[in-house]
Amino acid sequence: MNIDRRKFTVGALGAATVGLAEGARVRAEDSPSPAKEATTPKRRANPIGASTYSFWRFLDDSKLSIEQCIDEAARMGFDAVEILQMQMDSEAPDYLQRLKRRAFLNGISLCGFSTHQGFVNPNADERQKNIDHTNRAIELAYALGIPTIRVNTGRWGTTKSFDELMANRGIEPRLDGYSDDDGFKWVIDSLERCLPTAEKCGVTMGLENHWGLGRTPEGVLKIIDAIESPWLQATLDTGNFLEDPYDKLDMMASHAVLVQAKTYYGGGIWYTLELDYPRIAGILRRHNYTGYVSLEFEGKEDWRTAIPRSLEQLRAVFI
């Protein structure tokens, strides 16, 4: 039988083309397209920082310089460093720029600036000193390239010893003749006077759940809600709710701009909490928190072993 070679070639090519197209269709159905993959990106892990407080902890025999803390944090594998203002050797411009350069050369960020202030005081001059101090801290953070500072309400100051305050679970009597309403007014008015500097510098104040009027989530949120500014949000400390912390952390999580994560290897200096970090990480994920988690090691174990152990613990859950 004679076969037209041209018809045979065209027919064979057509069949092959159909087969290839069918195979491509099946493969496309079996595997997700780049467009589909792009719509479900993998969640980015939280970057983990170390507070310079973790190396010091107010212990006389372990105060490292900020430069040493930056070097050690980078060597251990942290992504960032949070600077404790009280630990700094200077506030001179050249010192600040050396710190910024040192972090840059180590390939890590400066993620936070932890400051102290107290606005719970009936003396207007004393409150003004703390307002001025906070505005100065915002400007220092700006010079360092740090986007947030930790702020406190301050406390009544009727318990003079911090050890005694901790023994009393952070609770202290009010000043005679004054109420919490007075204290909240002083704090709100003072922080409002720091907002223009924060906005000008692009530095967000994070009000911490700390002692004083910030001991409870209700206290922190009362101040944040009253001020209602993007330049005042929350620094969320996992170790400062001494009882039933998880619901309280959940209440504040939507306002968090920095999370300070406590660990207590070797037993806590003032107290020890058994914190469920997988549960805490789950709370933060539900609130879509993707920012920095900054380690505050507060135990008695040598920092050389305890801080790397803490990093490993945090890396395992903040993913």
Q: What is the pLDDT of residues 254-265, one digit of tens each?
A: 999 999 999 999
**pLDDT recorded at residue 39:** 64
Q: What's residue 60's pLDDT?
A: 72
57 touches 84 (CB < 8 A): no
Between CA 257 and CA 279 the distance in angstroms is 19
Cα dist from 92 to 87, 121, 239, whole Å: 14, 30, 33
Task: Break the chain into its structural domains and give their ranges.
Answer: 5-36, 46-317
pLDDT tens per residue, range 200-242: 999 999 999 998 999 999 999 999 999 999 999 999 999 999 9
DSSP 268: B
Question: Across the chain, where does the E strand assignment appear?
Answer: 48-51, 80-84, 109-114, 148-151, 204-208, 232-237, 256-263, 293-297
Per-residue confidence (pLDDT) for residue 63, from 0 to 100 = 81
pLDDT at 16: 40
Fold of the 46-317 domain: TIM Barrel (3.20.20)
3-state percent breakdown (helix, strand, coil) of the chain, nearest 5: 50, 15, 35
Instruction: Give the per-residue pLDDT at 291.
Output: 98
**57: number of Cβ within 10 Å:** 16
DSSP string, 95-118: HHHHHHHHHHHTT-EEEEEE----
Q: Which residues of the chain fall below pLDDT 50?
A: 1-30, 36
